[in-house]
Amino acid sequence: MAAANTQQNLATTFQQNYDKYSELKAFDETKAGVKGLIDSGITKVPKIFIHPEALQNNPSNPKNTNPIFPLIDLQNINNNKKEIVKQIQEASETWGFFQVINHGIPMSILDEILHGARHFHEQDVDIKKPYYSRDVARNVMYNSNFELFSEKSLGANWRDSLYSVMAPYPAKPEELPDTCREIVIEYSNHVMKLGYTLLELLSQGLGLEPNHLKEMGCAEGLGILCNYYPSCPQPELAIGTSKHADNDFFTVLLQDDIGGLQVLHKDQWVDVPPTHGALVINIGDILQLISNDKYKSIEHRVLANKIGPRISVANFFTTGALTSSRIYGPIEELLSKDNPPKYRATTVKDFFEYSSKKGLDGKSNLDHYKI
């Protein structure tokens, strides 16, 4: 009976008898984000944020095996490189995700970037408004839901974000908010160094020379995304971030101790356990494409929560210029008669434009490029 009522409520909720665009536009024009809704004292989730993904039954493994999320220790990497490469290879092939500890970034830096991200989002809205934009050409951009007006969007996400370009043509220091300027620059420099190390390990895991992926330009570009997930009065109706896979080479994510990040592993949503001092690494779509499906770009999401706010900081590694005409296809050294190319070659510019237009519709970006 309860399931039937849920489905009936779902059908009622999504009757198109209201002007969704006008509600989205009115929300966007406040430039206050989801944080502004909470500050206004709302006790119910606005209809534009009611998301079918939160209401539907989640895919689950009938065996309920409670798999253990991969955790890899990078300490003594020079003396233990062979074993670390093996662990990263296995995690990238089976999970598409893993956590790393002893990665070289001081705990004080991790704590400070989380504090800086929170400080920006919790400022008075009038201070944040000058940064609010949907112009993707900007080096620094704050908004709520990059895909807010996408026709294929299933519902708005319960999240505000601050995005900054950090390499190879970084935002000027004066373009960054002064509340988090210094730590965003310092943290991104640390992450870039870690990214080079991870690329070497990922290259070796593919049986390639350590510099192969770096020389392909897989870490020339870096963007930082500071996410703010306010507490949600009805988390059973909303979603923090919709199910998706990242459209980059790989991502380095720092999450706080609240949690909510889930990875779809063997048709089961698995919680990524908050581990103080750890960083979450995940394979992106373009790395799956060039590795010819050796490494997997896996869908993940973030749940809404009554507890909050939740803070996370994601760094996305991509090419040096999204307008570059450089072609990316399955790496020739990985191909053979028994392992022919599974994807057609593309530019990162084309891939980004396609995925941006498609939006978070719950479908893989890679399907469009399959041979």
As given in the structure block, the two tokens for residue 231 are: 């507490």
Give the pairing type, strands 346-347 and 300-303: unpaired
Q: Using CA atoms in the order 243, 246, 250, 254, what is the torsion angle rounded to 10 degrees?
A: -50
Task: Say yes or no to pLDDT of 55 above 80.
Answer: no
Q: Average of pLDDT values for 183-207?
A: 98
CATH for the stretch 18-369: 2.60.120.330
**pTM score of the predicted model:** 0.91
**Rounded-to-integer distance, Cα 331 and Cα 181, Å:** 38
Phi-psi sector, 51: left (phi>0), alpha (psi -120 to 50), beta: beta
**Rounded-to-integer distance, Cα 163 and Cα 337, Å:** 43
| pLDDT value for 7 | 42
As given in the structure block, the two tokens for residue 345 are: 């070659």
| pLDDT value for 357 | 79
As a whole-number percent, the residues of the chain with pLDDT over 70 amount to 90
The string of pLDDT tens digits covering residues 82-94 is 999 999 999 999 9
| Amino acid of residue 58 | N
**Rounded-to-integer distance, Cα 222 and Cα 243, Å:** 23
The string of pLDDT tens digits covering residues 220-252 is 999 999 999 999 999 999 999 999 999 999 999
Beta-bridge partner residues of 253: 280, 314
Task: Say yes or no to pLDDT of 60 above 70.
Answer: no
Q: Average of pLDDT values for 263-267?
A: 95
| pLDDT value for 364 | 87
**Rounded-to-integer distance, Cα 243 and Cα 360, Å:** 7
Q: Average of pLDDT values for 167-195?
A: 97
Q: Average of pLDDT values for 128-141?
A: 95
**Rounded-to-integer distance, Cα 203 and Cα 210, Å:** 5
Q: Average of pLDDT values for 113-120?
A: 98
Q: What are the φ and ψ backbone dihedral angles of 73, each rounded to 5 degrees?
A: -95, 120
| pLDDT value for 195 | 98
CB atoms within 10 A of CB 311: 21
Give the pairing type, strands 97-101 and 71-73: parallel
| pLDDT value for 65 | 58
**Rounded-to-integer distance, Cα 350 and Cα 339, Å:** 25
Give which of 218, 252, 250, 249 is closest to 320, Cα–Cα: 218
Task: Tell me the DSSP string of 148-215.
Answer: TT-TT--S--S-EEEEEEEESSPPPGGGS-TTTHHHHHHHHHHHHHHHHHHHHHHHHHTTS-TTHHHH
The string of pLDDT tens digits covering residues 144-157 is 998 888 766 778 99
CB atoms within 10 A of CB 341: 15
Q: Which residue has the tokens 């048709």?
A: 267
Residues 248 and 304: beta-carbon distance below 8 Å:
no
| pLDDT value for 15 | 47
Task: Say yes or no to pLDDT of 26 above 90.
Answer: yes
| Amino acid of residue 99 | Q
The string of pLDDT tens digits covering residues 328-362 is 999 999 999 999 999 999 998 899 888 887 776 76
**Rounded-to-integer distance, Cα 247 and Cα 109, Å:** 27
As given in the structure block, the two tokens for residue 93 are: 């092939």
HEC letters along 240-270: EEEEECCCCCEEEEEECCCCCEEEEECCEEE
If pLDDT is split at 50, 70 and 90, which confidence band does 63 have?
Answer: very low
> Can you say how many angstroms the Cα of residue 89 is from the centroid of all Cα atoms in its chain?
21
The string of pLDDT tens digits covering residues 32-53 is 999 999 999 999 999 999 998 8
Give which of 177, 169, 217 is closest to 196, Cα–Cα: 217
